[in-house]
Amino acid sequence: MAGKPKLYYFDGRGKMESIRWLLAAAGVEFEEEFLETREQYEKLLQGGSLLFQQVPMVEIDGMKMVQTRAILSYIAGKYNLYGKDLKERALIDMYVGGTDDLMGFILMFPFLSAEDKEKQRAFIVEKATSRYFPAYEKVLKDHGQDFLVGNNFSWADVHLLEAILMVEEKKSDVLSGFPQLQAFKARISSIPPIKKFLQPGSQRKPVPDDKYVETVRRVLRMYHDMKAN
Show the domains of the chain with their CATH numbers. Answer: 6-79+198-220 (3.40.30.10), 86-190 (1.20.1050.10)
Contact predicate 128/104, CB 8 Å: no
* Residue 226 clears pLDDT 60, i.e. is over it: no
Q: Check residue 2 and give its pLDDT.
A: 62
Looking at residue 154, its pLDDT comes to 98
Q: For residue range 46-76, list pLDDT tens digits in order.
A: 999 999 999 999 999 999 999 999 999 999 9
| CA–CA distances in Å: residue 212 to residues 56, 144, 197, 206, 216 | 15, 41, 21, 10, 6
Q: In 3-state terms, what secondary structure has residue 9? A: strand
Residues 6+ apart with CB under 8 A from 61: 2, 78
Report the alpha-carbon angle 202-205-208, nearest 5: 160
pLDDT category at 227 given cuts 50, 70, 90 is very low
CA–CA distance, 72 with 78 (Å, rounded to integer): 10
Look at residue 3 in the predicted model and tell me its pLDDT.
87
Structure pTM? Answer: 0.94
Which has the minimum average pLDDT: 100-114, 139-153, 214-228? 214-228
pLDDT at residue 229 in the model: 28
